[in-house]
Amino acid sequence: VFIGYKLQAISETNITVLNINGAMMQSENQLLNAGENQFKMNINNLIPGIYFVRFTTNNFVVTKKLLVK
C-alpha cells in the first residue's frame, strides 16, 4: 500500500503502524525532503483488521486509520 503526504521542510520522519490495542506492529524512520512524498508500506504480515498509521516529524504528529481486508 502507498501512503502519500506533504512536508513543509526536510524532516526526519517516523512512520509507525499500531493495532487497535495500541501495540506497535511495525515502524520505520526516514529522512524525507520537503514537498510531496510517498511511503510504500508492506502490509502482508498484518492480519485483517483496523490499524492506525502514525506519522511523526519534528513539527507534527498525524494518525490515520488503516483498514486491512
Per-residue pLDDT of the chain (69 residues; tens, 9 = 90+): 888 888 888 999 999 999 999 999 999 998 988 999 888 888 899 999 999 999 999 888 999 999 999
pTM of the model: 0.85
Can you give the pLDDT at residue 49?
96
- Measured CA to CA, the distance from residue 44 to residue 60 in angstroms comes to 28
Can you give the pLDDT at residue 50?
97
Can you give the pLDDT at residue 26?
93
C-alpha closest to that of 16 among 61, 58, 49? 61
Can you give the pLDDT at residue 40?
85
- Cell 510517498, residue located: 38
User: Is the separation of the CB atoms in 63 and 16 below 8 Å?
Assistant: no
